[in-house]
Chain A
Amino acid sequence: MLIGNRVFVVRRGLGEFAGLASARDSGFDEGPPIAGGVIGRAAPVGIGIDAVGVLQGDGVDDELATNDDATEHHFTQKERDTESGNDYFLARYYSSALGRFTTPDWSAKTDPVPYAVFTDPQSLNLYAYVRNNPLTRIDAAGHCNPSDWGCNSWSGSGHYAARESAAQAKLAAKKQAQQQNGVTAKAKGNKVTYTYPDGSKVVLKGDHPFRDNNPGDLRSGHGSIGRDGGFAIYPSLQAGVDALGATLTGKYGDSSIADTMKAFAPASDGNDPVKYAATLASAVGVPASTKISALTSAQLMTFQYTIANAEGYSAAGNTASYTAPPQQWTPNEDQETRRYDRELQISSDAGFYGLRDGECEWADHR
């Protein structure tokens, strides 16, 4: 099986050992070495598993269930106890044969049903691995530590959501950086002129949220590109919506929708936070008791747009105009043509008709 010099450890999606393969056996080209010589989680999952299929055929799975593999690291790369056959997850043992932990998770704080999330019945099963959703979650230590933001255990949707939110925030920041790349904004009166790197311009005229691409009425932060009478200016509507989301999750992430609205739109200002929260919860499709950090990215997007609408963001009564970039002149081509002509003339004048190395290409292409 181990033909050639390079041997790959082939792993499945959650990092468990799936077999050994040489590049030649698995059908890969002996090209540049893959980092570390290992096809791990960074490699496309399909390739890793297919490679084993090619290599070992139908018997692969049977082989994996034994303790005779070339490595002791199995499900999610956890070490397998050779006597019990269970995988050691630091806090608990996991039984691959049963597909669950051998003991329930526990809570240091007295709680009849620790880590229960009433919107997710799977959270009631204290034996399950990551609430039976290993496609999107991993468990690093076999136990949920509620005070640990990086809690990787089966429960605590808030922790997963917080982690997801952090990833989303990172992605949003990256998107904003891309969106604002090279865009400048200048506010004057009730209009803002956006100038793009290609020279095109967009003028938004109207109320603040519209002309500033700022449906959350934010003052600053999260990739803004200017200021307009106390309002931040964002390079696009999406950037403004993302900034609103980042502000909400950053400030109210640990609060429920209901509590967030009490702070965001307090009754002492004449608002009706209960009605506001109910409207948002209904739009998102979750109970008002749901924490902001527990919202998925799609739900958060709906949440943000619903707030934007409720806060009066509207294109109605506002105007936008677009100015195309100035006519592009191609100085390089023009200059090059003139250079060719000049050099040809020089060569000709000198009685030199041969071409030196490196000059053939431009001469031939003329």
Chain B
Amino acid sequence: MVCAMVSANGQTIVEPLDREVALAGELHKVHGYGAPGYGENKKVDAPITYWVLELPNPVNVVCTPEKPQWEADDCKATKRLKLFFPSLPVNNEVERKAKAMQGHRVIATGILHRSDTVGEITPIYMNVTELQPVLPSPKS
């Protein structure tokens, strides 16, 4: 696992983008809203469900805004990472593990990406390759 993690302005910036990272956080399944408004009009927007990793600190990736004045919009950090299990079939091993570890602290390993679309929900998401439970520290 080769990547640099830099702390700046209270957030962790992960670089480069194409390397796997392992992040610890709480695993949750969220019931939210999808197209067309993604929660703007809850009467109209489609209900969706997705997996997230709640992080203790915001995480960010290296980002170049389309215009400097849009940096706050285009390069947002996030404490909530949407998790994708994209390359694997439905009910795959990783997702099966996720179901078993829902609500618990886990270590998610995968590659972070900046979202291109609002459909990816969180500003940064992770393509997950592995999920492991965080074992409680032995009682002293």
Contacts and interface: CB of A to CB of B under 8 A. Distances in A.
Contacts of A224: 66
Given A207-B40, A208-B37, A217 B118 contact: yes
Interface of A, secondary structure class, is loop
Contact of A312 (B35, B89, B95, B116): B35
A262 B116 CA distance: 16
A312 B117 CA distance: 14
B84 A219 contact: no
Contacts of B95: 268
Contacts of A230: 38, 73, 118
Interface stretch (B7-15, B44-52, B53-61): B44-52
A299 interface: no
A217 B70 contact: no
Contacts of A270: 48-50
A208 B87 contact: no
B40 A221 contact: no
Nearest to B118: A217
B36 A220 contact: no
A366 B119 CA distance: 65
Contacts of B115: 219
Contacts of B41: 207
Contact of B117 (A190, A219, A262, A268): A219
Interface string B24-45: 0000000000011110110010
B13 to A, nearest CB: 18
Given A208-B118, A268-B51, A270-B48, A220 B66 contact: yes
Given A216-B117, A227-B73, A266 B85 contact: yes
A93 interface: no
A216 B38 CA distance: 13
A265 B117 CA distance: 11
A267 interface: yes
A217 B35 contact: yes
A231 interface: yes
Contacts, number: 86
B100 interface: no
B84 A220 contact: no
A269 B36 contact: no
B90 interface: yes
B130 interface: no
A268 B35 contact: no
A312 to B, nearest CB: 4
A313 interface: yes
Contacts of B46: 312
A269 B50 CA distance: 5
B87 A262 contact: yes
Contacts of B36: 207-210, 217, 311-314
A313 B37 CA distance: 10
Interface in A110-127: none
Nearest to A264: B119
A270 B44 CA distance: 18
A247 B113 CA distance: 14
Interface string A227-257: 1011110000000000000010001000000
14 contacts: A208-B38, A210-B36, A219-B115, A219-B118, A227-B73, A227-B74, A247-B117, A264-B119, A267-B90, A268-B83, A268-B90, A268-B95, A270-B48, A312-B35
Interface of A: 190, 207-210, 216-221, 224, 227, 229-232, 247, 251, 262-270, 311-314, 317
